[in-house]
Amino acid sequence: MGVVQNGMMLVVVLSSVAVAQTWTATHSTVTVESAPSVAIEIPTSPASILEPSWMIEVLYRGANQHLWDMVDTDLLTAGDYSNPVTLMNGTDSLAWKGKVVVFYAGTNGHLFIASKDQFQPLQAFNQPVDTGYGPLLSSPVVATLDNKEVDVFYRGGNSHLWQMHFKDLTHWSAPEDLNATIQSRPSVITMRDQVNKTGYQALYIGPNGHLWKSYYPSDLKKRIWWSGGEDLGGEVLTGGPISINLPTAAGGPTDRGIETFYLTDSTKGTDRLRFSTWVGYDDKGQTDSWSAPQAVTIPGANFTGDLGAAIFNVTGPLIYYRDGVSHFAKAMWHAPTPPPRPPQITTFSAAPDNGYVNKGTPVTLSWTVSGCSAPCSVAIQGFIGIGFMQPIYNAGNLGVSGSVKTTPSQTTTNTQYVLTAKGENGTSTKKLLTTLAPSGTSACSSCSTYYFKLTSDSPTAAPACFTQAMPAANEPAAQQLVTTENPGYTVTSTDYNGFLNGCN
């Protein structure tokens, strides 16, 4: 499937779908008797990818064997043309030089072309032109290297891959046998070769039923022959492939990667779809390999026969196909929903002097938290010791913004406070270090650590409850220090577990 508008090839840059696959299938009641093709019609100055002004026409063989046309919308409706065109199998189509052009095999097996004006979904095609060449044993496939001329590929009467070259809709070359044995309609897509020239990769079912490739590294000023076929291995295919271009890295050059979708002989129902990814040449001509087949699970997809076409919309790859009851269907990949952003601790500070105070001087800890989804909890803990492992302060049930006062009373020089904000969208923490000024330090020989719970009935107290550890020669002395440093709070003794959980 080629998409060309006003001399521009549509190449949409996205990452591989190999990671975090999320697919859905949509089925219609529109009867299709062939794999559908698409033509994307783009205004002269497109503003964004697949914006509403773009038109996607889906073309296929209908129940009466005529060419049918449908504008792809959520309604999935169809309309037959007043000038019927009879098809032997499916089509390929593209928007090219102001026209929607359809290539197909007629009832005599020859390659036919028909066209009409763009953005006219109910307009009849012109009188079809019989190129006189054939027979075609598959639907034709359209591709272009320079956006000015078109190549058409198909499975010929000897089951080889064949190519025709179109300069316009009235001048074309005789078919050329590319000497690759194929068992399906081919998929042909552009790629960059070792010397940064645009070429083709052709993917098809090979003689042993595997996915095979041939390539054409093209210098547009000099003809270069196609390569021989190469077996890419994997499972036996039961449906011909379709392909889309990918970059090899974000922001990297296009046509450096290809993703190819195809059906296998798997009996797992919705597990029949596979894809392989080609990692193209980098700027130094290095790396040329295909990945092993990877399974895609699409609940209710109900695939049958060849896949139709693959494009990108704004969310990811979109596959058009004929389902198991001969209805038009789409399978769409959706990028996984990104995890919610955790709460943001926008400020966490200590005053005065960034927490550089004398022993016994209160430190005010202030904070603000944003984006904390309810239920949201904010807590502060203080630690001292090697690695700050010994907790000395614990205040929970704080608001998303506010301040608390605490008095460093330990003989250890550094005290670290940790603010934790936890909501439905995750947890964030931020650390803050306060330091006792050297003149304020003092020794406490033979001290033990005692634990206390502090509560206040005042509606303005912040926090209303916290726990504190205090080293002292004995518990009464420790309780007296805590009470003196925290006026307005009721101080009760607790143990270490009570210190950790006293206000929960």
- Could you tell me the CATH number of the domain that includes residue 467? 2.60.40.1930
Task: Say which range, 216-220, 298-302, 484-488, 498-502, has the weakest mean pLDDT.
Answer: 216-220
Nearest residue to 500 via CA among 469, 456, 461, 462: 469
Q: Are residues 152 and 16 in the same domain?
A: yes
With respect to residue 158, please indicate whether it lies within any of the assigned structural domains.
Answer: yes
Q: Are residues 10 and 63 in the same domain?
A: yes
Q: Output 10 or 384, whichever has higher pLDDT.
A: 384
With respect to residue 339, please indicate whether it lies within any of the assigned structural domains.
Answer: no
State which H helix or E strand residue 201 sits in.
strand 198-205
Reply yes or no on whether the pLDDT at 154 is more than 90: yes
Cα separations in angstroms, 195 against 208, 222, 224:
32, 14, 13
Reply yes or no on whether the pLDDT at 435 is more than 90: no
Reply yes or no on whether the pLDDT at 124 is more than 90: no
Residue 435 pairs in a beta bridge with 356, 414
The whole domain housing 278 covers 4-333
Cα separations in angstroms, 241 against 187, 188, 209, 245, 257:
6, 9, 12, 14, 16
Residue 429 confidence (pLDDT):
93
With respect to residue 338, please indicate whether it lies within any of the assigned structural domains.
Answer: no
Confidence of residue 17 (pLDDT cuts 50, 70, 90): very low
Q: Are residues 25 and 153 in the same domain?
A: yes
Q: Are residues 57 and 195 in the same domain?
A: yes
Q: Are residues 33 and 128 in the same domain?
A: yes
Reply yes or no on whether the pLDDT at 131 is more than 60: yes
Q: Are residues 114 and 198 in the same domain?
A: yes
Q: Measured in whole angstroms, how far is the alpha carbon of residue 130 from the centre of its chain?
A: 43
Q: Are residues 324 and 353 in the same domain?
A: no
Residue 177 confidence (pLDDT):
94
Segment 10-28 shows an average pLDDT of 56
With respect to residue 417, please indicate whether it lies within any of the assigned structural domains.
Answer: yes
Last residue of a domain, one of 298, 333, 368: 333
Confidence of residue 20 (pLDDT cuts 50, 70, 90): very low
CATH number at residue 329: 2.120.10.70
Q: Are residues 329 and 351 in the same domain?
A: no
State which H helix or E strand residue 216 sits in.
strand 211-216
Reply yes or no on whether the pLDDT at 439 is more than 90: no
Count of structural domains within the chain: 2
With respect to residue 321, please indicate whether it lies within any of the assigned structural domains.
Answer: yes
Q: Are residues 329 and 349 in the same domain?
A: no
- Torsion sign, CA atoms 216, 87, 205, 298: positive
With respect to residue 308, please indicate whether it lies within any of the assigned structural domains.
Answer: yes
Q: Are residues 403 and 302 in the same domain?
A: no
Residue 14 confidence (pLDDT):
32
With respect to residue 319, please indicate whether it lies within any of the assigned structural domains.
Answer: yes
With respect to residue 242, please indicate whether it lies within any of the assigned structural domains.
Answer: yes
Classify residue 228 by burial, with Cβ atoms within 10 Å: 0-12, 13-18, 19+. exposed
Radius of gyration of the chain from its Cα atoms, rounded to whole angstroms: 35
CA 158 – CA 280 distance, rounded (Å): 31
* 99: phi then psi, degrees, rounded to nearest 5: -120, 155
Confidence of residue 432 (pLDDT cuts 50, 70, 90): confident
Residue 26 pairs in a beta bridge with 330
Last residue of a domain, one of 313, 333, 353: 333
**Three-state DSSP state, 496:** helix
pLDDT tens sequence across 24-59: 888 888 888 898 998 887 776 555 545 556 788 888
Q: Are residues 296 and 350 in the same domain?
A: no
Q: Are residues 296 and 443 in the same domain?
A: no
Neighbours of 373 (CB within 10 A): 14
Last residue of a domain, one of 312, 333, 354: 333
Segment 436-443 shows an average pLDDT of 54
pLDDT tens sequence across 213-256: 888 875 544 555 788 888 988 888 888 899 887 654 444 555 56
Q: Output 424 or 147, whichever has higher pLDDT.
A: 424
Are 143 and 188 within 8 A, CB to CB?
A: yes
Reply yes or no on whether the pLDDT at 103 is more than 50: yes
> Could you give the percent of the chain with pLDDT greater than 70?
77
- Torsion sign, CA atoms 460, 466, 472, 474: positive
Reply yes or no on whether the pLDDT at 116 is more than 80: yes
Strands (E), 252-400: 257-264, 273-279, 289-290, 294-296, 303-312, 317-323, 327-333, 344-351, 356-357, 363-370, 377-384, 390-398
**Three-state DSSP state, 118:** coil
- The amino acid at residue 194 is Q
Nearest residue to 293 via CA among 220, 368, 241: 241
